[in-house]
Amino acid sequence: MTSTLNRLLDSHDIRASSVPRDMLISGLTESSREVSPGDLFFARAGSSTDGHRFVGEALTRGAAAVVVEEADVHRSLERSVLVGSTSRALGVAAARWHDCPSREMSVVGVTGTDGKTTVTYLLEKIWNAASKASGLIGTTGARWGVQRYPISLTTPPALELQGLLSRMKRDRVDHVALEVSSIGLDQERVAGVAFDAAVFTNLSPEHLDVHGDMETYFRAKAKLFRDFEVPIAVVNVDDPWGRRLVYEGSTSTRWLTYSAKARAATIRVRHLQVEPSRMRATIDTPLGRIVLETSLIGRYNLANCLAALTVAYQESIDLDLVLQAIRDVRVPGRLEPVDLGSTAPTVFVDFAHTPASLAEVIAVLRRQTDESRGRLITVFGCGGDRDPSKRAAAGRIVSAGCDVTIATSDNPRSEDPEKILDDIESGIDARATEFHRAADRRLAIEQAIRLSTPDDIVLVVGKGHETTQQIGSRFLPFDDREVVLESWNALQGVGLVP
Ligand SMILES: CC(=O)N[C@H]1[C@@H](OP(=O)(O)OP(=O)(O)OC[C@H]2O[C@@H](n3ccc(=O)[nH]c3=O)[C@H](O)[C@@H]2O)O[C@H](CO)[C@@H](O)[C@@H]1O[C@H](C)C(=O)N[C@@H](C)C(=O)N[C@H](CCC(=O)O)C(=O)O
Ligand SMILES: Nc1ncnc2c1ncn2[C@@H]1O[C@H](COP(=O)(O)OP(=O)(O)OP(=O)(O)O)[C@@H](O)[C@H]1O
Ligand SMILES: N[C@H](CCC[C@H](N)C(=O)O)C(=O)O
Ligand SMILES: [Mg+2]
């Protein structure tokens, strides 16, 4: 497969070029290490290095040309194109390489700090119920029909993303739910995507190591609504940042809003009834009053359901179908129960890893233990090479809400696990909780199971659906759900020689 430079790059984006515009291109890459002869190499400034340092290597390996955004580098090279933003140019070129697959499908982008994966799962379930051919791309991977692709990031880099969309199009997928992270927006991974609608769930402190402050973080998320000319925006107006998004929003977008607090909104909750394993909500929609019942629990999941319901409403999907679809939803690793039998504690595995989501999930389970007079025992950690300001905050929230707090490792990545634990411990209120610390996550889970009684709830949180633990550069097999089962069995003496 080949293309030409002028087909791949926006002509008004090209500031200078030392190569002919009809030059043939045989592939695209942003990694000098992966250049094949005839490729177009995009030099992108990253967090650990800068692709501009590798333009020489790319040309030596046979790149047809390099795309750069630094005028000095452009002037020093024989075969280069100078553009305003190489990340943006790469996003657009990746889409054009595949004939812009998103234009032929309905793509809904879901952004916000928490709830993106849950909302995309709900949309997938609704579309399937409405006999649409759905596709999903996000934290748990990409999937459509019988296809399953693991991806390393929530929002894949542009080349991977457009490749996935192209395969979906080939397989006749017509509705795609795409998780759009703030870092993905910053790095223009979705620059070539034509969105039909965008959803904003909420905003709370996260990735501040990358964005610096909340205002910059908000602006990164807002790009999805401001830069992409989305025709439809679906926004949670219970969140102050959501209200600001609507207030400052473009008049060419149709703004649909939702509220779980009976606030004025397109879709809003009138009455909520919560049971330990179900929720029922009376909801006002422009089409009349409906009663939503779902296996998802927690007020935050009601907000996630409203987001999906609002998208479905604007797509004119029969609301009865939507209500049926939402009745029994399971999102792997999100308040996922691990069944250990009736003589065991109740155990949940969850993916909360931001201060706000930890507070939400602990509040849900606290209510249950208060009613049953059991204790809430929580095992948690914080990822290495991620916003360190989350650590003390997580320590504070877990210790304030739980009877027993066991701090352990999440994915330490390149960091010293004990240093991460020190940061977490600086936030622990030892008067409010029984506190333990063990860097080995397996030992921490075993301890939680050992300390618990059948009246207690054990929450193992932070890694959810993940099936590996990243220590240094190694990905070791680790699944919280399996480790919980193994710990319980070991405690019961199952599998031990009598
Ligand atoms: C901070 C961040 O987002 N990093 C991602 C980013 O790396 P980077 O921009 O820092 O790139 P870099 O390593 O500095 O290199 C810069 C450029 O030089 C090039 N290069 C580099 C070396 C070389 O020899 N030759 C060469 O050409 C690289 O290919 C790159 O184009 O681009 C890389 C390639 O696309 C990603 O693999 C990498 O993700 C890292 C692994 C990561 O963990 N990212 C996380 C923080 C992330 O993006 N998370 C979000 C948010 C999740 C959520 O909130 O839900 C996500 O969407 O997953
Ligand atoms: N709307 C919400 N508000 C607050 N917390 C939520 C919300 N939805 C889910 N959560 C909590 O956040 C956790 C992660 O949810 P989910 O995976 O849906 O979010 P996400 O935005 O996709 O996260 P990530 O940024 O890691 O991709 C859940 O396990 C739950 O504890
Ligand atoms: N999408 C999030 C996932 C965090 C999951 C948690 N287990 C961790 O490793 O910090 C991130 O990349 O920051
Ligand atoms: Mg996600």
Q: Ligand 3: residues whose CB is within 6 Å?
A: 139, 154, 353, 383, 386, 410-411, 462-463
Residue 315: name the closest of 194, 174, 190, 201 by CA: 174
Ligand 1 center from residue 357 Cα (angstroms): 25
Q: Which ligand lies nearest to the CA atom of residue 154 in the structure?
A: 1
Tell me the helices (H) and strands (E) count for the chain, helix number first.
17, 26
> What is the three-class DSSP state of 265?
coil
Query: Which atom of ligand 2 is found nearest the CA of 206?
Result: 25
The CATH number of the domain covering residues in 336-492: 3.90.190.20
Determine how β-strand 336-338 pairs with β-strand 346-350.
antiparallel
Pairwise CA distance, residues 61 & 67, whole Å: 15
H-assigned helices in 208-354: 208-211, 214-226, 240-247, 299-314, 319-327
Does residue 303 have its Cβ closer than 6 Å to ligand 2?
A: yes
Adjacency order of strands within the sheet including 434-437: 336-338, 346-350, 457-461, 376-380, 404-407, 434-437
For the record, the structure tokens of 30 come out as 């942003």
Please give the ipTM for the structure prediction: 0.96
Could you tell me the residue ranges of all domains in the chain? 3-97, 99-326, 336-492
Could you tell me how many residues make up the chain? 498
Pairwise CA distance, residues 396 & 205, whole Å: 15
The CATH number of the domain covering residues in 99-326: 3.40.1190.10
* Residue 292: half-sphere exposure toward Cβ, Cα within 13 Å: 36
Instruction: Compute CA distances 11 → 63, 82, 93, 275, 285, whole Å.
Output: 20, 11, 12, 58, 45
Residue 382: name the closest of 431, 347, 419 by CA: 419
Pairwise CA distance, residues 344 & 487, whole Å: 12
Structural contact between residues 229 and 198, judged by C-beta atoms closer than 8 angstroms? no
pTM for the model: 0.97
**What residues of the chain score a pLDDT lower than 50?**
498
pLDDT in tens, 248-265: 999 999 999 999 997 899
pLDDT in tens, 299-321: 999 999 999 999 999 999 999 99
The CATH number of the domain covering residues in 3-97: 3.40.1390.10
pLDDT value of residue 496: 54
Annotated binding site: 32, 112-118, 154-155, 181, 187, 189, 386, 410-413, 462, 466
- CA-closest residue to ligand 3 atom 3: 353
pLDDT value of residue 61: 98
- Sign (positive/negative) of CA torsion 286, 230, 233, 462? positive
Cβ-based burial of 92 (10 A; exposed 0-12, middle 13-18, buried ≥19): buried
Does residue 117 have its Cβ closer than 6 Å to ligand 2?
A: yes
Ligand 4 center from residue 419 Cα (angstroms): 26
pLDDT value of residue 51: 98
Does residue 361 have its Cβ closer than 6 Å to ligand 2?
A: yes
pLDDT value of residue 495: 57
Residue 176: name the closest of 352, 8, 334, 315 by CA: 315
Query: Which atom of ligand 2 is found nearest the CA of 113?
Result: 21
Pairwise CA distance, residues 495 & 498, whole Å: 9
